Amino acid sequence: MAFVRANGIVLHTRIQGRTDGPVLVFGNSLGSDFRIWEDVVRLLDDRYRILLYDKRGHGLSDTPPPPCAIDDHVNDLLALLDHFAIESAAIVGLSVGGMIAQRLAARAPERVKALVLCCTGAKIGTPESWADRIAAIDAGGIDAIAETVLERWFTPSFHRNRATELAGWRNMLLRTPRAGYVATCAAIRDADLRPGAASITAPTLCVAGDHDGATPPELVRATADLIPGARFALIEGAGHIPCVEKPDVLAELVGEHLARHV
């Protein structure tokens, strides 16, 4: 089923993989849709039942009117799990997808078997940095910030050697609904998950890209330090979107973590 009404909105979804396998859910970054996971999913779907979805304001999902908070995204995901009768799942979340995963694990620990928090933090950015981004979009649209975002998403090597792919991912970013992008910026701006991090009981792996300009490795490591028993791993030669740049490495890390805990 491509479209599901959950928590009162339409979400674009896809389920694939091993029908009797453990459930693995992927959450996307700001300005992306679930296509960023294609190469990772291809390496894992023989072992897992995989749920992909475009969060609200992104891809083919609805863009409800603002305001929007991380808890709204969590409510969407809980409703989606209920729709598919998924009692619990492992969650892989990238950037804001990782914030959604953290909050879900703190709010409803019984629904989360394991976490992989990729290029994310318990607190990302400052009110000033998000205000600047929102102001730039208000003035010039997503195009006004696209080059800066892409520099953070991918390494210089990717920019030099994979120009055609880079152009495609730029198209994805530019076609993100403007209202959805800004609403999610505000949700990230207002979210501070540090107070709840110590309550996360799901086995957690925190993964960083060594060239990540959005959530640098030290931020990801600091988040791992807040979560009891969390491990940290660094992917060399990757920016903020390692599922595109280093999918084989990320898939191996995810597979190893879930093999231990799911």
Give the helix ranges, DSSP H, for 55-126.
70-83, 96-107
Dihedral sign computed on CA atoms, order 16, 165, 27, 216: positive
Cα torsion 110, 116, 122, 128: sign: negative
Scan for tokens 């959950």, then name that residue: 6
Q: Which pLDDT does position 37 carry in this prediction?
A: 98
Characterize the bridge pairing of strands 9-17 and 49-53: antiparallel
Do residues 101 and 49 make contact, with C-beta atoms less than 8 angstroms apart? no
pLDDT in tens, 163-175: 999 999 999 999 9
Q: Is the pLDDT of residue 186 over 90?
A: yes
Chain-centroid distance, C-alpha 49: 18
Span 72-99, mean pLDDT?
A: 98
Instruction: Quote the CA–CA distance of 206 and 228 in Å, as a whole number.
Output: 12
Q: Per-residue pLDDT for 91 more than 80?
A: yes
Average pLDDT over the chain reads 98
Q: Provide, rounded to the nearest whole percent, the portion of the chain with pLDDT above 90.
A: 100
The tokens describing 242, both together, are: 């390692």
Short-list 104, 124, 117, 93, CA closest to 192: 124
Above pLDDT 70, what percent of the chain? 100
The residue count of the chain comes to 262
Question: Could you say which DSSP state residue 34 is in?
Answer: G
């110590």: which residue's tokens? 198
Q: Cα dihedral angle (72, 74, 75, 79), rounded to 10 degrees?
A: 140
**Cα 227-230-233 angle, rounded to 5 deg:** 130
- Give residue-wise pLDDT tens across range 125-138: 999 999 999 999 99
**Structural domain count of the chain:** 1
Q: What is the pLDDT of residue 94?
A: 98
Torsion sign (Cα): 60, 65, 69, 74: negative
Q: What is the DSSP letter of 113?
A: E
DSSP 202: S
Query: Where residue 250 sits, what CATH number does that domain have?
Result: 3.40.50.1820
Structural domain range at position 181: 3-261
3-state class (DSSP) for residue 30:
coil
What pLDDT is stored for residue 72 in this prediction? 98
Q: What is the mean pLDDT of residues 13-29?
A: 97
* CA distance linking residue 223 with residue 217, whole number of Å: 10
Q: How far apart are CA 11 and CA 27, in angstroms?
A: 13
pLDDT value at 1 more than 70: no
